[in-house]
């Protein structure tokens, strides 16, 4: 009796498997003909019997479902997510990413990444982050997708999500320092990447490709640590930020990006003494970078070290004469004593001594104006499209005080025409 029941059971399982296989084949045929609705109908029928199927049958089912969803997605993210889940289930059933899955997975990842790029171009950074994370989640091998998902989340200011992705990258030891093997297609002039050096060299030998190159990308670990630190600061989690940065600096003591991250943290925490100290270390590693001197000027100004700040701005302008922000900040510093002088002038009486003092103060004020004018004029000339009317009105007021009537009228007409 047991043998009869066993045989009946075997026949039942065989019948179920045969039915599923038949429906999956029909679905595959429908996909080839572009009838994705029919493919999904056949797969829905097969899914009702999936519980009794073996792993190979399950893998075939999920792979076919994923392909049908990918082909019919037409940039529909909900469908692409379902396709990603189906591929993940197929991989789970097979136990690994087999060669028969690679083409379909590549097609889906390409769709997700291209769609994410469109979202980024449209400033839809958060949905781009979701799509890139979905691409990563299919096999969990393409860690660069997770890295770019974190970057998109930062751009979308979804800092908790970015922090989550960055933590995942650090936990898996991601560095991003990859080596790529490229060569130029002789016919099209396009640079193409190859999986291995041998593959690249083989194609060069065929004379179809020229200019073989090996490109190395630097580690992104320091950037990840820096971004995580800034996110912690933004979330008011300064203890976590300091602990993370201390660890990062200990591991990479000469990394200038980490130095700058620590300087940024000090600045945000209003520790300007520490900020300037670190920035001076950074400048020593890159003494011809005008931006670094500008940042030192900002820090010194914040500590009321005006002469030191002016010196830093002068150095920035020496390296980059059209550095608009440095020109403006230099002029602002030069004009910073104006209020004190004007207040004293307004408080004077009409005695001979007061009139003499008034003339002295007026001379100081006008000398200050004369020093600031060239910097304001150049700042406006550097980028007239910026249309900084406040800056122009400041210069108009100075022209008026200095008796520069022609310049005043010309600038006034320009402002009114905006």
> pLDDT tens digits for 89-142?
888 888 888 888 888 888 889 899 999 999 999 999 999 999 999 999 988 888
**CATH of the domain spanning 2-139+147-154, picked from 3.90.1200, 2.30.29, 1.25.40, 1.10.760:** 1.25.40
Q: CA 360: distance to chain centroid?
A: 54
Of 47-56, 89-98, 100-109, 353-362, least confident by mean pLDDT is 47-56
| pLDDT of 9 strictly over 50 | no
Q: What integer is the mean pLDDT of 361-366?
A: 90
pLDDT of the residue at 335: 87
414 by Cβ neighbours in 10 Å (0-12 / 13-18 / 19+) ranks as middle
| pLDDT of 179 strictly over 90 | no
pTM score, whole prediction: 0.60
Q: How far is the C-alpha of 137 from the C-alpha of 58, rounded, in Å?
A: 19
Q: How far is the C-alpha of 307 from the C-alpha of 290, rounded, in Å?
A: 18
Q: What residue spans define the domains of the chain?
A: 2-139+147-154, 179-216, 335-418
Q: What integer is the mean pLDDT of 16-22?
A: 54
Q: How far is the C-alpha of 175 from the C-alpha of 137, rounded, in Å?
A: 18
Instruction: Give the residue with greater pLDDT, 30 vs 366.
Output: 366
For every residue of 301-316, which 3-state class applies, written as one string?
A: HHCCCHHHHHHHHHHH
Q: What integer is the mean pLDDT of 375-391?
A: 79
Which tokens hold the place of 92? 């789970």
Model confidence band, residue 152 (pLDDT cutoffs 50, 70, 90): very high
For every residue of the chain, which 3-state class applies, written as one string?
A: CHHHHHHHHHHHHHHHHHHHHHHHHHHHHHHHCCCHHHHHHHHHHHHCCHHHCCHHHHHHHHHHHHHHHHHHCCCCHHHHHHHHHHHHHHHHHHCCCCHHHHHHHHHHHHHHHHHHHHHHHCCCHHHHHHHHHHHHHHHCCCHHHHHHHHHHHHHCCCHHHHHHHHHHHHHCCCCCCCEEEEEEECCCCCEEEECCHHHHHHHHHCCCEEEEEEEECCCCHHHHHHHHHHHHHHCCCHHHHHHHHHHHHHHCCCCHHHHHHHHHHHHHCCCHHHHHHHHHHHHHHCCCCHHHHHHHHHHHHHCCCHHHHHHHHHHHHHHCCCCHHHHHHHHHHHCCCHHHHHHHHHCCCCCHHHHHHHHHHHHHHHHHHHHHHHHHHHHHHHCHHHCCHHHHHHHHHHHHHHCCHHHHHHHHHHHHCC
Q: What integer is the mean pLDDT of 283-308?
A: 87
189 by Cβ neighbours in 10 Å (0-12 / 13-18 / 19+) ranks as exposed
| pLDDT of 177 strictly over 60 | yes
pLDDT of the residue at 214: 81
């Amino acid at each position: 009796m047991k043998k009869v029941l066993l045989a009946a059971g075997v026949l039942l399982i065989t019948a179920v498997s045969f039915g599923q296989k038949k429906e999956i084949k029909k679905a595959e045929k429908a996909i080839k003909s572009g009838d994705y609705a029919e493919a999904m109908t056949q797969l829905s029928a097969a899914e009702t019997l999936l519980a009794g199927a073996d792993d190979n049958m399950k893998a075939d089912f999920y792979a076919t479902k994923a392909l049908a969803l990918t082909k019919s997605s037409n940039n529909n993210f909900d469908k692409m997510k379902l396709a990603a889940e189906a591929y993940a289930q197929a991989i789970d059933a097979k136990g690994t990413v087999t060669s028969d899955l690679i083409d379909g997975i590549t097609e889906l990842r390409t769709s997700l990444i291209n769609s994410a790029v469109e979202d980024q171009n449209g400033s839809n950074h958060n949905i781009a982050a979701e799509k890139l994370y979905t691409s990563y989640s299919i096999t969990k091998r393409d860690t660069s997708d997770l890295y770019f998902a974190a970057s998109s989340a930062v751009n979308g200011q979804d800092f908790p999500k970015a922090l989550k992705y960055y933590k995942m990258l650090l936990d898996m030891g991601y560095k991003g320092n990859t080596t790529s093997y490229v060569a130029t297609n002789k016919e099209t002039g396009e640079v193409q990447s190859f999986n291995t050096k041998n593959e690249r060299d083989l194609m060069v030998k065929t004379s179809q490709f020229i200019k073989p190159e090996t490109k190395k990308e630097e580690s992104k670990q320091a950037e990840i640590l820096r971004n995580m630190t800034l996110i912690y600061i933004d979330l008011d989690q300064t203890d976590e930020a300091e602990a993370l940065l201390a660890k990062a600096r200990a591991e990479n003591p000469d990394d200038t990006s980490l130095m700058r991250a620590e300087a940024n943290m000090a600045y945000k925490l209003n520790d300007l003494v520490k900020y300037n100290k670190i920035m001076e270390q950074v400048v020593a590693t890159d003494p011809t970078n005008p931006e670094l001197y500008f940042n030192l000027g900002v820090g010194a100004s914040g500590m009321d070290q005006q002469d030191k700040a002016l010196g830093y701005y002068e150095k920035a302008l020496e390296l980059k004469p059209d550095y608009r922000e440095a020109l403006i900040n230099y002029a602002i510093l030069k004009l910073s004593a104006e209020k004190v002088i004007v207040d004293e002038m307004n408080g004077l009486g009409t005695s001979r001594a007061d009139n003499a003092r008034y003339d002295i103060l007026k001379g100081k004020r006008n000398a200050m104006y004369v020093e600031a004018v060239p910097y304001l004029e150049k700042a406006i000339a550097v980028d007239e499209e910026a249309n900084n009317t406040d800056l122009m009105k400041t210069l108009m007021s100075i022209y008026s005080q200095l008796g520069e009537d022609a310049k005043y009228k010309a600038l006034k007409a320009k402002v009114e025409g905006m």
